[in-house]
A and B are shown apart, each in its own frame.
Chain A
Amino acid sequence: MTKELSRNERIKEASAYLRGTLAEGLREEITGGIIEDDAQLVKFHGMYLQDDRDLRAERVRKKMEKAFSFMIRLRVPGGVCTPGQFINLDHIVRTYGNGTMRLTTRQTFQLHGIIKSNLKATMREIDAALLTTLAACGDVNRNVLCNPNPYQSRAHAASLALARALSDHLLPRTPAYREIWLDGERIAGGEEEVVEPIYGKTYLPRKFKIVIAVPPSNDVDVYAHDLGFIAILDNQHEIDGYNVTVGGGMAMTHGEPETYPRMADVMGYCRADQAIAVAEAVVTVQRDWGDRVNRKHARLKYTIEDRGLDAFRAEVEQRSGVKLAAAKPFTFTSTGDRYGWTESDNGCAHLTLFIENGRVKDVPGGVQWLTGLRRIAEVHDGDFRLTANQNLIIANVPKDKRKSIEALVAEHGLTTGASALRRNAMACVALPTCGLALAESERYLPDLVTALEERLAAHGLAEAEIVIRMTGCPNGCSRPYVAEIGLVGKGPGLYNLYLGAAFDGSRLSKLYAADLDHGAIIANLDPIFAAYKSERRDGEHFGDYVIRADFIAATVNGADFHKDTGARR
């Protein structure tokens, strides 16, 4: 018997290529929301209907509906934009948004708090800035990540070019986006003609994520995504091809062991000029093989688990006509960013700023991120690059401009680094905007880090580079299962603690202890810090140590993520 397709499949099918009743819904003035089905569709256009969860409790009594607003996510391949575009976004968040920008773990911008009546005006400004939000979310290929490292300028140029090419090649073709947000008019041309050559009427079974990594940096966490390209450089530092990875993903659901994070497998090697053909084949195989019945089992990682890597590779080779070669050797050293100034082979300088949790805002009496970055954008004529660690690089600064930018950095109290634990920390957004959050994350991690740094210092570990990441729910938006210390929201004020991931992002962690509150988190980690200080071998990373010292069992791959969990020592 064939099981019933998931609700989203029927919504997509009936949507006439992502139109649904969005246009009508926008005209509904009396509610700040849109109907449920449209709320699913609007994601493909780069938006999420959210509500301010801090206000939920009071609203009904005050005879008001939820405090609805939209989060708009841009699609910026490789995280590279111009200073001019940044200035446009600054204007948008000050005029229509909540006065902040959010740099994401996938190298793009999120604008929160835009109410329905301002959506169109905002979308027009985004379009005028030559930016787009189409396919930033939804069951399609999302923003394509690419290691932003400017110090290997040639490799970066090539990988960025590929990121953009992949992004364009896999972009939905439906006219609905221009129609609804920009032109208003429905563009003629019926359902019959092929609107979506790659996706078809129902697009993909689930979201799809592509990244490009340039060793030795694994800042994009290549193994955490559906499809990855690991650049293989020749001795002139040019890219001559890529190792192709498939089947990575983070998300799981508490109490459902059949859901688990998974590290991508290296499927083989392809020449640079074959990358797009391979990517398209991977996408279409997932389109046809992916699970459209159970959305919790619909990501590519489960398709690979179910069908096996060999079958999948064979199908991809067959559809792409590309015979994949054996993977080439490479080494990753870390997943972090290089803060401060770096110089590159093209003689330019680049400044990597540390923006805690990617939240760009002016703190009253404190750091002025929004204003500071706009002032820099006004004088800078290189580019702005977002990193996959929620940070920002002022890239391609000619020598003579360095001083003026340094002055602006100082004037606005911008930070070009932080203490060891903090600069290796990431938190997802969570409350108050994220509808799925079970616990705080962005608003809490900074305080927890302060407390943990105090313990680390007490053990003389102030300088230890340890990757720590927090999320407000098990979806894993800050990729906590590849962090040496992962904290995943379980309920208000409670977190599950995961340990044992590799510093270079090549190994998943495992559940160490559950339902910990602030005190319990510290109490659990403190003795491990102490032992680490006394027992670690030189250069031994925290994530490797906890396994060797048998605090926790190693996770070989997703399938055994939920096996032998818990503290062992």
Chain B
Amino acid sequence: MNSSPIPNTAPFAEEEIEILNRVVGPASPTQRAWLAGFLAGMNTATTAPQPAVGAQPAEPLTILYATESGNSERLVSDMAKAARKMGLKPSIVDMADLDVATLASVRRLVVIAATWGEGDPPARAIRAYGELMGEGAPRLDGALFGVLALGDTAYTEFCAIGKALDARLEALGGKRVVDRVDCDLDFAEPAGRWIKTALKALAPVEEAGRGRVIAVDFGAKAASTADLGPVEAEITEFIDLNSSQSEKETIHLELGFDGAAPPYKPGDSLELYPENDAAYVDDLLKAAGLASDAALRAELTKGRDVTTLSLKTLESYAATTGHQHQEVKALLESGDARAWIAGRQLIDLLQFFPITLSADQLLQVTRPLALRAYSIASSRREVGEEAHLLISAVRYQSFGRARKGVASGHVADQLKKGQRLRVKLRPNRHFALPAPERDIIMVGPGTGIAPFRAFVQERRATGASGRSWLFFGDRHFTHDFLYQLEWQDALKDGSLTRMDVAFSRDTPEKLYVQHRIWNQRRDLVDWLDSGAYFYVCGDAKAMAKDVRTALVRAYADVKALSVEAAEQAVNNLDREHRYLQDTY
């Protein structure tokens, strides 16, 4: 229906009209009915407004989420909107802030949880997740619940966290009113369906006859107005920052936009629409025994994930190819499948168990090609309507085949200055700069340095008074010191207070950022005691964990604490949102 029912002629200021429209526009008939009654009542009543006749309080619904890169969070705010319309009073809780004890009183609970690392919870959810899984967790007898899991079939621990929570809530006495759905990277549509079913199952039963009246939650803030749609960008600069004698290739991309850059903040990422390697797609078509028609090739190159080989791929391959591939079934049943797919790609499957596929069958065994996120390495305050990215080319050899990352390989091998590409802003309000007077500690080895370049640019431009300390590491000082000259300047002009570096391959015994953190533990704990924010960006597999462990050991040593107490100290940083992480 009409989204702005209040006419400009209404006796309100423009912004007031705008606000009213934002409320009344999407309101359901019942909500409008209530408003009408409520406002009418207001004129007569001299005392505080009473709920209109026959009103009954809306059913509260707790929507809990565990997110790292924001997908779950976005789903949660959609769900809250829908919930209100269905007569529920949603309250959104980030697991990072969850006080587990409060769950005892919850009657209606939905959880949307992502899985990270190798089947781990998102970093910010680790603490609450642990408590929920441990003895201390409260009983949830009778509480209605449902779980939506976000994940990526490319990982063997697919949706592990969602699965675990689902089982745990039941074990704690909760009543599952909607079955869990495990979403792959293309989660939008299945997640949408799940939200509908879940809300139906959770909404209070209509009492026949009475039009129910629902409290409108004015507290719920409007969704971010930032335009998150894809935009065209032109590559205005393309530099491989590693020396020509380096084993690595890290590309610094500068993107220009027709008009304004996406309204990004330091800490946000840009998602890139990748393209598969043409030669790889040809091999794939050959392996599938398919004549390469332009349309199919285009679809495979731009639209489908034709490299990932997951258990799911194996299953659907076995299914689509039916009886023809007993071996694949056998492999799946043998339980060796996990080991077999490691280091392999779809092409290997087709070449190892060859059969001629139809175009449809080939499409069926693939999933949509997912966007790739890259931390923005610049601040608009310094670079204007540009965005800079830092992309490390993924290249490796396995099973006698030279392989490369879809997106990073495409950027490194195919793109040049002057070419265009599509990107999409991916905000991350959980990895933002604090108040200008606060100190910041940034740990960003490898491409983890990217957002911190944005941080330092921003703080230089705004003349922030807080101190800043950067930890960087890579392989060789001489060949892999990313943005070295810029850091030297930043140290000179004061926008960077301190920098410690660790290069792992210059010495017999490898040296990493966590070792430098340990060396500097006294000053580090001192900074944190005086309120500094601690940021970690980069590799999720090892680095992020090692850095956290190093910090715990630092606290234990400097403050003479037990390991448990030191862990508490670091957990407190989480609680105060001063331990912020953006890892991948």
B interface secondary structure, majority: mixed
From B242, B477, B491, B507, contact of A32 by CB (8 A): B477
Residues of B within 8 A of A52 (CB): 478
Which chain B residues numbered 472 to 516 have a C-beta less than 8 Å away from chain A?
477-479, 481-488, 491, 499-501, 503, 506-508
Instruction: Give the docked Cα–Cα distance between A112 and B203 (Å).
Output: 75
- Asked if A58 lies at the interface with its beta carbon under 8 angstroms from chain B, I say yes
Question: Which one, A60-68, A274-282, A302-310, is touching chain B?
Answer: A60-68
- Asked if A30 lies at the interface with its beta carbon under 8 angstroms from chain B, I say yes
From B243, B500, B506, contact of A64 by CB (8 A): B243
Instruction: Flag if B508 contacts A95 (CB, 8 Å).
Output: yes
Residues of A within 8 A of B487 (CB): 30
- Given A30-B499, A32-B477, answer yes or no on A115-B488 (Cβ-Cβ < 8 Å): no
Residues of B within 8 A of A30 (CB): 484, 487-488, 491, 499, 501
Q: Mark A42-81, 1 if CB is under 8 A from B, else 0.
A: 0000000000100100111111110111000000000000
- Asked if A524 lies at the interface with its beta carbon under 8 angstroms from chain B, I say no
Instruction: Give the docked Cα–Cα distance between A159 and B242 (Å).
Output: 51
Instruction: Give the docked Cα–Cα distance between A154 and B503 (Å).
Output: 52
Instruction: Give the docked Cα–Cα distance between A59 and B506 (Å).
Output: 19
Instruction: Give the docked Cα–Cα distance between A64 and B489 (Å).
Output: 12
B485: nearest residue on chain A (CB-CB)?
A63
Instruction: Give the docked Cα–Cα distance between A60 and B483 (Å).
Output: 10
A58: nearest residue on chain B (CB-CB)?
B244
B476: nearest residue on chain A (CB-CB)?
A115
Residues of A within 8 A of B484 (CB): 30, 63-65
From A29, A61, A63, A115, contact of B478 by CB (8 A): A115
Instruction: Flag if B485 contacts A65 (CB, 8 Å).
Output: yes
- Asked if B59 lies at the interface with its beta carbon under 8 angstroms from chain A, I say no
Instruction: Give the docked Cα–Cα distance between A29 and B500 (Å).
Output: 7
A interface secondary structure, majority: loop
> Which among A31, A61, A64 has the highest number of chain B CB atoms within 10 Å?
A64
- Asked if A85 lies at the interface with its beta carbon under 8 angstroms from chain B, I say no
Q: How far is the CB of A107 from chain B (nearest CB, A)?
A: 30
Residues of A within 8 A of B477 (CB): 32, 115, 117
From A29, A55, A58, A64, contact of B501 by CB (8 A): A29
Q: How far is the CB of B430 from chain A (nearest CB, A)?
A: 29
Residues of B within 8 A of A419 (CB): none
Q: Mark A14-35, 1 if CB is under 8 A from B, else 0.
A: 0000000000000001111000
Q: How far is the CB of B475 from chain A (nearest CB, A)?
A: 13
Residues of B within 8 A of A115 (CB): 477-478, 506
- Asked if B245 lies at the interface with its beta carbon under 8 angstroms from chain A, I say yes
Q: How far is the CB of B208 from chain A (nearest CB, A)?
A: 72
- Asked if A450 lies at the interface with its beta carbon under 8 angstroms from chain B, I say no
- Given A29-B499, A118-B506, A118-B507, answer yes or no on A64-B485 (Cβ-Cβ < 8 Å): yes
Instruction: Flag if B478 contacts A67 (CB, 8 Å).
Output: yes
Which chain A residues numbered 486 to 528 have a C-beta less than 8 Å away from chain B?
none
Residues of A within 8 A of B488 (CB): 30-31, 65
- Given A32-B477, A58-B243, answer yes or no on A63-B506 (Cβ-Cβ < 8 Å): no
Q: How far is the CB of B501 from chain A (nearest CB, A)?
A: 5
Residues of A within 8 A of B499 (CB): 29-30
Residues of B within 8 A of A55 (CB): 243-245
A55: nearest residue on chain B (CB-CB)?
B243
Q: Mark B226-248, 1 if CB is under 8 A from A, else 0.
A: 00000000000001111111000
Residues of B within 8 A of A60 (CB): 485
Considering only CB atoms and an 8 Å cut-off, how many residues of chain A contact the other chain? 22
Q: How far is the CB of A428 from chain B (nearest CB, A)?
A: 23
Instruction: Flag if B243 contacts A67 (CB, 8 Å).
Output: yes
Residues of A within 8 A of B243 (CB): 55, 58-59, 62, 64, 67
Residues of B within 8 A of A63 (CB): 239, 241, 252, 482-486
Residues of B within 8 A of A121 (CB): 507
Q: How far is the CB of A154 from chain B (nearest CB, A)?
A: 44
Residues of A within 8 A of B486 (CB): 63
Residues of A within 8 A of B485 (CB): 60, 63-65
From A59, A62, A65, A117, contact of B240 by CB (8 A): A62
Residues of A within 8 A of B479 (CB): 67
Residues of B within 8 A of A61 (CB): 239
Instruction: Flag if A62 contacts B478 (CB, 8 Å).
Output: no
Q: How far is the CB of B489 from chain A (nearest CB, A)?
A: 10
Instruction: Flag if B506 contacts A117 (CB, 8 Å).
Output: yes
Instruction: Give the docked Cα–Cα distance between A205 and B479 (Å).
Output: 38
B472: nearest residue on chain A (CB-CB)?
A30
Residues of A within 8 A of B507 (CB): 117-118, 121
Residues of A within 8 A of B240 (CB): 62
Instruction: Give the docked Cα–Cα distance between A272 and B529 (Å).
Output: 72
Instruction: Give the docked Cα–Cα distance between A68 and B506 (Å).
Output: 14
Instruction: Give the docked Cα–Cα distance between A59 and B485 (Å).
Output: 10
Residues of A within 8 A of B481 (CB): 64
> Which among A30, A59, A69, A115 has the highest number of chain B CB atoms within 10 Å?
A30
Residues of A within 8 A of B501 (CB): 29-30
Instruction: Give the docked Cα–Cα distance between A29 and B252 (Å).
Output: 23
Instruction: Flag if B478 contacts A32 (CB, 8 Å).
Output: yes
Instruction: Give the docked Cα–Cα distance between A121 and B509 (Å).
Output: 12
Which chain B residues numbered 498 to 538 have a C-beta less than 8 Å away from chain A?
499-501, 503, 506-508
Instruction: Give the docked Cα–Cα distance between A175 and B491 (Å).
Output: 33
Instruction: Give the docked Cα–Cα distance between A30 and B491 (Å).
Output: 9
A121: nearest residue on chain B (CB-CB)?
B507
Instruction: Give the docked Cα–Cα distance between A95 and B484 (Å).
Output: 24
Q: How far is the CB of B499 from chain A (nearest CB, A)?
A: 6
Which chain A residues numbered 336 to 354 have a C-beta less than 8 Å away from chain B?
none
Instruction: Give the docked Cα–Cα distance between A66 and B239 (Å).
Output: 17
Q: How far is the CB of A20 from chain B (nearest CB, A)?
A: 21
Instruction: Give the docked Cα–Cα distance between A115 and B483 (Å).
Output: 19
Residues of B within 8 A of A67 (CB): 243, 478-479
Instruction: Give the docked Cα–Cα distance between A31 and B492 (Å).
Output: 12
Instruction: Give the docked Cα–Cα distance between A117 and B507 (Å).
Output: 9
Instruction: Give the docked Cα–Cα distance between A461 and B486 (Å).
Output: 59
Instruction: Give the docked Cα–Cα distance between A32 and B488 (Å).
Output: 12
Instruction: Flag if A62 contacts B491 (CB, 8 Å).
Output: no
Instruction: Flag if A62 contacts B506 (CB, 8 Å).
Output: no
Q: How far is the CB of B457 from chain A (nearest CB, A)?
A: 14
Which chain A residues numbered 456 to 484 have a C-beta less than 8 Å away from chain B?
none
From B241, B244, B478, B508, contact of A69 by CB (8 A): B478
Q: How far is the CB of A50 from chain B (nearest CB, A)?
A: 12
Instruction: Give the docked Cα–Cα distance between A264 and B240 (Å).
Output: 54
Instruction: Give the docked Cα–Cα distance between A553 and B240 (Å).
Output: 55
Instruction: Flag if B245 contacts A62 (CB, 8 Å).
Output: no
Q: How far is the CB of A43 from chain B (nearest CB, A)?
A: 22
B486: nearest residue on chain A (CB-CB)?
A63
Instruction: Flag if B500 contacts A62 (CB, 8 Å).
Output: no
Instruction: Give the docked Cα–Cα distance between A496 and B115 (Å).
Output: 70
Residues of B within 8 A of A117 (CB): 477, 503, 506-507
B490: nearest residue on chain A (CB-CB)?
A30
Instruction: Give the docked Cα–Cα distance between A513 and B507 (Å).
Output: 48
Q: How far is the CB of A252 from chain B (nearest CB, A)?
A: 34
Q: How far is the CB of A251 from chain B (nearest CB, A)?
A: 31
Which chain B residues numbered 163 to 202 have a C-beta less than 8 Å away from chain A?
none
Instruction: Give the docked Cα–Cα distance between A64 and B486 (Å).
Output: 8
A68: nearest residue on chain B (CB-CB)?
B478
Q: Mark B561-576, 1 if CB is under 8 A from A, else 0.
A: 0000000000000000
Residues of B within 8 A of A69 (CB): 478
Which chain A residues numbered 81 to 106 have a C-beta less than 8 Å away from chain B?
95
Q: How far is the CB of B155 from chain A (nearest CB, A)?
A: 34
Q: Mark A382-401, 1 if CB is under 8 A from B, else 0.
A: 00000000000000000000
- Can you report 11 residue pairs joining A to B where beta carbons are below 8 Å apart? A30-B499, A30-B501, A55-B245, A59-B243, A63-B486, A64-B241, A64-B481, A68-B478, A117-B477, A117-B507, A118-B507
In the complex, besides A60-B485, A65-B484, A115-B478, 5 extra interface pairs with C-beta distance below 8 angstroms are: A29-B499, A61-B239, A63-B482, A67-B478, A95-B508
Ranked 8 nearest A-B pairs via Cβ: A64-B484, A63-B485, A67-B478, A63-B483, A62-B241, A29-B501, A30-B499, A115-B477
